[in-house]
A and B are shown apart, each in its own frame.
Chain A
Amino acid sequence: MAEQTPSNFDPFNAWRDWLSQFERQLNAFLNQQMSTDTYQRFAGGINRVVLDSQKAMGEMLARSTNWMNLPTRDELAALSERLAALEQRVKALEGTSATSNTTRSESSETPRPPRTRRPASGA
């Protein structure tokens, strides 16, 4: 009587398959919980608390920096914006000379192959 051969059961791959299934099911379960109105109210509440405390902290810091005669974050952001605008205007004024410089460096570094390519014919 011939013996039965061992099954092809691979316990390690079975574990891996189980892990993938578990991941899918756990994600689906958690997503279901997070889509309830209760969770969204909770998350919205947490958001409000965090944002309100950040706003309060920001106002307190702004008062402190004003007292110390230092620029606030908003003032620095405005300054940065003005610098960026100035930078743009300088670039615009540089305009033609910058373009010709690019062309010179481009001709030595950037290949310009002909635009004649056709797709490979299908099988």
Chain B
Amino acid sequence: MSQAEPSSGPSIGEIVSREIERAIQRSIKGLEYLRIGDPPVAQTPRDIIYKRGTLELCHYRPVADEIYRVPLMLVMSLVSKPYIFDLGPGQSLIEFLLNRGYDVYMIDWGVPRPEDSRLRLEDYCLDFIPDCAKRMADRSGEKDFSLLGYCMGGTLALIYAALFPEYGLKNLICLTTPVNYEGMGMFRLWSDRKHFDVDRIVDTLGNVPAEMMYNSFQMLRPATRVISQIRLWDNMWNDEFVKSYRLLERWGNDQIPFPGECFRQNTKELMWENKLYKNELVLDDRLVDLRLITASCLNIIAQHDDIAPFEATKDINQLIGSRDKQDMILKGGHVSVLAGPNASKRMWPALDRWLGERST
């Protein structure tokens, strides 16, 4: 005669009771959800210290009693708004960094106007980023600085670092940054030159419309759009889930146009020819040679990234000339590695541990 082992976990009665309670909460909070408008974002106090066209260089007001010597500049991708860095209290990488004592700046590229369709990689890497770096040095009084680039912002930061290795760049952080465009998965397939007429798109439209950019991201996971709504309803009782969902959904839907000439250049020279990876990219007669990068480098890769897949991001440290370099592979997707509850537990403290000792 065997004795039954005590059961662990809830009984079926408790499960049903839990689900009934959640169903009631869903109905109540579901109505609230429909009633409340978009959540506020980018709430961390900052000063706009420089404006140029649509570009704004922001300096976040320090909150710590003492700060690290080396200031940090965040460089966003050209395809999305930068408030992913500063979603809201408790969900802001910038707030976290300020609390940890970093002196934080950010380049907000703004929303491209029709005349910005002429902007090229040369403008961003040879003009805008160096200009902002200089203004940050003037304001902080420090020549050394750190640069953190997210997604294509990281690509811009890499190119800048290769072109200006001696201009004070001490630390380079590449976050889900594509460098090997042969590994770009679906985006590479869809932009195959046999079928993708980039010249016709840019010549007709100028800037690539925000809707086109949005649709291309949605097509990576076409089923997710519907299933995320089901999941939202299922979790409507969970305030933390709903708060995070609303913030990320707002950002995900808030796409911006992509400057036309930069898009053409990105497609032809990076996506088709993979020139950055091969050290063949030339901007304004200057060769972008990644081996010239000597700054300490942290390459943060998201394990389940379908926008900048592992194959596209993993090789940065093999290409650069830095001695102090580290790869950090973290669980998460392209966005969740940077923002959201998991990011605050994984990436943010890991970044702080690496960057803190290199910011003195």
A binding-site residues for B, Cβ under 8 Å: 1-8, 10-12, 16, 19, 22-23, 26-27, 30-31, 34-35, 40-41, 43-44, 47-48, 51, 54-55, 58, 73, 76-78, 80-81, 84, 88, 91, 102, 106, 109-120
Closest partner residue, chain B, to A78 (CB atom): B115
Which among B113, B186, B221, B231 has the greatest number of chain A C-beta atoms within 10 A?
B221
- B56 shortest CB reach to chain A, Å: 13
Q: Note all chain B residues with C-beta closer than 8 A to A44.
A: 194-197
- Within the complex, which residue of A22, A54, A117 is in contact with B204, where a contact is CB–CB below 8 Å? A54
Q: Do residues B219 and A34 form an inter-chain contact, with CB atoms below 8 A? A: yes
Interface string of B137-158 (1 = CB under 8 A from A): 0000010000000000000000
Q: Note all chain B residues with C-beta closer than 8 A to A5.
A: 4-7
A-B pairs with beta carbons under 8 Å apart, 25 shown: A2-B2, A2-B4, A7-B7, A8-B8, A8-B9, A22-B223, A23-B223, A23-B227, A30-B223, A31-B220, A34-B189, A34-B190, A34-B219, A40-B192, A40-B194, A44-B194, A44-B197, A51-B201, A51-B204, A84-B113, A84-B115, A110-B61, A113-B64, A117-B64, A117-B68
- A98 shortest CB reach to chain B, Å: 10
Q: Note all chain B residues with C-beta closer than 8 A to A55.
A: 204
Size of interface on B: residues with Cβ below 8 Å to A: 63
- B44 shortest CB reach to chain A, Å: 13
Known A40-B195, A114-B66: A4·B59 in contact at CB below 8 Å: no
Is B341 an interface residue when CB atoms closer than 8 A count as contact?
no
Closest partner residue, chain B, to A112 (CB atom): B62
Stretch from B24-32, B46-54, B75-83, B122-130 forming part of the interface with A: B46-54
Is B253 an interface residue when CB atoms closer than 8 A count as contact?
no
Q: Note all chain B residues with C-beta closer than 8 A to A51.
A: 197, 200-201, 204-205
Q: Note all chain B residues with C-beta closer than 8 A to A10.
A: 9-10, 15
> Which residues of chain B from 179 to 230 have a CB within 8 Å of any chain A CB?
186, 189-190, 192, 194-197, 200-201, 204-206, 219-224, 227, 230
- B8 shortest CB reach to chain A, Å: 7
Q: Do residues A47 and B201 form an inter-chain contact, with CB atoms below 8 A? A: yes
- Within the complex, which residue of A1, A6, A23, A40 is in contact with B224, where a contact is CB–CB below 8 Å? A23
Q: Note all chain B residues with C-beta closer than 8 A to A109.
A: 47, 61
Q: Note all chain B residues with C-beta closer than 8 A to A112.
A: 62
A-B contact number at CB 8 A: 139
- A96 shortest CB reach to chain B, Å: 13
Q: Do residues A110 and B227 form an inter-chain contact, with CB atoms below 8 A? A: no
Closest partner residue, chain B, to A30 (CB atom): B222
- A61 shortest CB reach to chain B, Å: 13
Q: Note all chain A residues with C-beta closer than 8 A to B4.
A: 2-5
Is B268 an interface residue when CB atoms closer than 8 A count as contact?
no
How far, in angstroms, from A2 to B7 measured CA to CA in the complex? 13
How far, in angstroms, from A88 to B115 measured CA to CA in the complex? 15
For the complex of A and B, the 3 pairs showing the least CB-CB separation, nearest first, are A44-B195, A119-B356, A81-B115
- B123 shortest CB reach to chain A, Å: 13
How far, in angstroms, from A114 to B64 measured CA to CA in the complex? 10
Known A40-B194, A78-B115: A113·B223 in contact at CB below 8 Å: no
Q: Note all chain A residues with C-beta closer than 8 A to B19.
A: 12
Q: Do residues B219 and A12 form an inter-chain contact, with CB atoms below 8 A? A: no
Is B69 an interface residue when CB atoms closer than 8 A count as contact?
yes
Q: Do residues A102 and B114 form an inter-chain contact, with CB atoms below 8 A? A: no
- A8 shortest CB reach to chain B, Å: 4
Q: Do residues A115 and B68 form an inter-chain contact, with CB atoms below 8 A? A: yes
- B257 shortest CB reach to chain A, Å: 13
Is B67 an interface residue when CB atoms closer than 8 A count as contact?
yes
Q: Do residues A43 and B195 form an inter-chain contact, with CB atoms below 8 A? A: yes
Q: Do residues A117 and B101 form an inter-chain contact, with CB atoms below 8 A? A: yes
Q: Note all chain B residues with C-beta closer than 8 A to A16.
A: 234
Q: Note all chain A residues with C-beta closer than 8 A to B5.
A: 5
Q: Note all chain A residues with C-beta closer than 8 A to B360.
A: 117-119
- A105 shortest CB reach to chain B, Å: 8
Q: Given contact pairs A8-B8, A44-B196, A115-B103, enumerate 8 new A-B contacts (beta carbons under 8 Å).
A: A5-B7, A8-B9, A10-B15, A54-B204, A54-B205, A110-B61, A113-B62, A113-B64
Known A2-B1, A5-B7, A34-B219: A115·B142 in contact at CB below 8 Å: yes
